[in-house]
């Protein structure tokens, strides 16, 4: 079995083959459609592939984007607090120095 890490080109070929089998499974020819569906299912099981609806992928992208924005916001707030702390430290250090 190939994986994305060890053989990306082979993986792309597997995905292309499964994709064409899924399209073929929609054929008006029942025997052809059944055979293609069975082959696609076998390959998906063999290569441990999972179908994810596009809407779910978009939802995940949105959640990740929001999480990244929140992380940047907190990073900026943390940097600001650190700078204020440094300025206060310098000011206090100057006043307390004898």
CA distance linking residue 80 with residue 3, whole number of Å: 44
CA distance linking residue 24 with residue 43, whole number of Å: 14
Residue 37: name the closest of 26, 50, 46 by CA. Answer: 26
Instruction: Return the pLDDT at 52.
Output: 86
Quote the pTM value: 0.53
pLDDT in tens, the chain (98 residues): 434 445 577 788 999 999 999 999 999 999 999 999 999 999 999 999 988 889 998 988 998 888 888 888 878 777 777 777 887 777 776 665 54
Q: Where would I find the H helices in 25-98?
A: 30-46, 54-96
């Amino acid at each position: 079995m190939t994986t994305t890490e060890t053989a990306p080109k082979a993986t792309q070929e597997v995905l292309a083959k499964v994709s064409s089998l899924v399209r073929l499974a929609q054929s008006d020819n029942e025997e052809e459609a059944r055979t293609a569906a069975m082959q696609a299912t076998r390959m998906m099981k063999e290569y441990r592939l999972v179908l994810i609806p596009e809407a779910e992928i978009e939802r995940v992208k949105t959640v990740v984007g929001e999480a990244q924005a929140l992380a940047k916001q907190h990073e900026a707030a943390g940097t600001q607090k650190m700078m204020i702390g440094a300025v206060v430290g310098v000011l206090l250090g100057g006043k307390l120095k004898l």
